[in-house]
Every structure is written in structure tokens, then in C-alpha cells.
Amino acid sequence: MEAVQSWVSKNKLASIGALWASGIGATLVAYSRAKSPMKPSLRLIHARMHAQALTLAVLSGAAAYHYYEINHQIAVEDNSVPNVTHQVEWELHTNSPF
């Protein structure tokens, strides 16, 4: 699972493009198996609309993951290496006569 997550993190656009293509393919297969009276051009339009909705959902998820990844990385950096400003403020606060 970690390997897949790291690959997706490094290749975000490729994974989104692959998901879009698989969404179009899955929708076209689903519409071709159903005996609907739709024309092939209408099936293609519906497949594209489903793939676009799926892509928007994945892009929203990728943006949320990116936001979480950056904030989590900053929090880890802040906790592991003390900032000089924080050290000075702490020394002033603990050694202050007030």
C-alpha cells in the first residue's frame, strides 16, 4: 500500500489521467452491455460526462491530499527542529521576573 501511495504522490497527473481513461472505458462498456436504444454518439457523450465527474472528484481528493501532505510536513518540521525565535521567546518567558 505504501508503494502505491508513494507512486501516486509522485505521478499525480498520470494517475488522474489513467483514472479518467478507465472511467470512460468502464462507462462505455456498461452502456454497450445494456440494451439501450441510445446511439453510439450519445453513449460517448454520457461516458465523457461520467469521466469528467469522476475526474473532478479525484482532483478534489488530490487537492485535499496535497493540502494535508504539506501541512503535515510543516508540522513535522516544526516539531523536530526548534526555531531560534521560539527558543528566545521561551528563555525570555521562563527567565522573566514578571
Please report, for residues 43, 50, 59, the alpha-carbon distance to residue 56 in angstroms, rounded to integers and kept in the order given: 20, 10, 5
Domains of the chain, residue spans: 2-95
Q: For position 86, what pLDDT does the model report?
A: 66
Q: For position 90, what pLDDT does the model report?
A: 63
Per-residue pLDDT of the chain (98 residues; tens, 9 = 90+): 788 878 877 887 888 888 888 888 888 887 777 777 778 888 888 888 888 888 888 888 888 887 887 777 665 555 555 666 766 666 666 665 55
Q: Hey, which bits of 1-98 come out as E strands?
A: none
Q: For position 92, what pLDDT does the model report?
A: 67
Q: For residue 16, what is the DSSP state?
A: H
Whether the CB-CB separation of 81 and 50 falls below 8 Å is answered with no
Whether the CB-CB separation of 21 and 55 falls below 8 Å is answered with no
Q: For position 26, what pLDDT does the model report?
A: 84
